[in-house]
Amino acid sequence: MATTESQLEEQEPGAPEATTDDEDVEARVGWRYTLAKVKRDATARIGFYIVAIVLVIAAFAAVDSNLSRLTFGALSDYRAAQALPFFEHPTALPESGEAQRNVPPAFVDGGTLSHPLGTDPQGRDYFTRIVYGSQVSVSVGLVATAIGLIGGTIVGAISGYYGGWVDDVLMRAVETLYAIPPLVLIIVFIVFVSDGSPDIRYAVIGVGITFIPVFARIIRSRVLSVREMDYIEAARAAGVKDRNIIRRHVIPNSFAPVLVYATLQIGVTILIVAGLSFLGYGAQPPTPDWGEMLRIAHGRYMHSNIWLSIWPGLAILVTIMGFNLFGDGLQDALDPRIKN
């Protein structure tokens, strides 16, 4: 029941013309039902709230770049730039003289409430940077997972539906991709396409591509059983084109397991991109990415200011834990075999 209805939710983006108002209502009811089930599970509930909070923070950071001033008003002297699109963040340094470099967090001796988490060696408010970091991480997690999800769904559905040599060619290609250690593959990809100036965009695309195989294999295994269903045969007998059969009948009925996997994968993505940034292949200074912040903090200021490493590390830990707990809860809620 829950599975079917979450599929309803999911088929909408793929088949917008088929969506009537009533289907909308039906789908939302199903979605709400699933969420209610997730909420009954204590750990999943924690995950859900963490994800919700991170998403809200990230959304605010996107809407108003003066977040820090909005929330802490006069407490912060950080003058952020105007609202900027994703991946571009206020870079202006405080005017010299005003800048207070290496301020410790507010609860430590020498700290000040105007910089709740202190400032970095350039005098930038660390709280603001962590908040912006959430925007980078969340968008990175969503975009890279979406690339893997969409690419994997297309490859897996075509492979499973047609079978034969199409299946062989696609699956062997996917397995080749699967056989290379992901981090090596991503770094090689970034080096290859970035032409010497790595950027977080390349990291996202690279991570997304390495996710295609696993999504493709999950979808394919589902499609193999779905394609034997009579409604597929009925659609063929009615003269529906293969493309439309895949889009309207095969994918919506195969989607539930990958959807769950995708929520789990968002956390992994954030971690990998943070790792890439840490290695210098992802976000570049002055982008306030958590991995990038860790790299700077770890490389140069590990001994002089340990707080610079602790905050982004904590942020990564909490966010990933949130996505994982939520993904686990969603998996349980959508699995009809587990009744609670």
Partner 1 sequence: MSSEPLLRVENLKTQFFTESGTVRAVDGISFDVHEGEIVGLVGESGAGKSVASMSLLRLVDDPGEIVGGEISYRGETIFGLEEGPDGELREREEMLSESEMRERIRGREIAVIFQDPMETLNPVFTVGGQLREFIELNRDLPSDEAKAQAIDMLREVGIPDPKERYEEYPHQFSGGMRQRVLIAMALACEPNLIIADEPTTALDVTVEGQILDLVDDLQDRYDTSFIWVTHDMGVVAEICDRVNVMYLGEIVEQAPVDELFYETNHPYTNALLDSMPRPDRTVEELDPIEGVMPEAINPPSGCRFHPRCPDAREVCTRVHPEPLEVDRADGYPHRAACVKHDVFDVGYDESVPLEAGDEAETGVGETGTEANVDSDSPLEEDQASTDGGESER
Binding residues (CB under 8 A) for partner 1: these are 4, 7-8, 11, 17-18, 20, 22-23, 26, 163-164, 229-231, 233-241, 248-249, 252-253
Task: Give the residue with the Cβ less far from partner 1, 22 or 195.
Answer: 22
Q: What angle do CA 306, 122, 69 make, to 5 degrees?
A: 95
Return phi, psi of residue 61, to 5°: -60, -30
Angle formed by the axes of helices 182-194 and 256-279, nearest 10°: 60
Residues contacting residue 298 through CB under 8 Å, at least 6 positions apart = 278, 309
- The Cα 32–Cα 36 span in angstroms is 6
CA distance 81 to 264: 34
Q: Nearest approach, Cβ of 132 to partner 1 (angstroms)?
A: 40
CB nearer partner 1, residue 39 or residue 248: 248
Q: Which is nearer to partner 1, 74 or 238 (CB)?
A: 238
Distance in Å, CB of 256 to partner 1, minimum: 10
Residue 238 CB, nearest approach to partner 1 (Å):
4
Inter-residue contact 301 to 121 (CB < 8 Å): yes
Name which of 181 and 239 has its Cβ closer to partner 1.
Answer: 239
Phi-psi region of 229 (alpha: psi -120 to 50; beta: other; left: phi over 0): beta
Kindly state the smallest distance separating residue 27's Cβ from partner 1, in Å.
10
Residue 35 and residue 20: Cα distance in Å, rounded? 23
- Token representation of residue 36: 């209610």
Whose Cβ is closer to partner 1: residue 23's or residue 64's? 23
In the complex, the smallest distance separating the C-beta of residue 230 from partner 1, rounded to whole angstroms, is 4
Question: Euclidean distance between the first and final Cα of the chain, in Å?
Answer: 14
Nearer to partner 1, 195 or 228 (CB): 228
Are 294 and 312 in contact, with CB atoms under 8 Å apart? Answer: yes
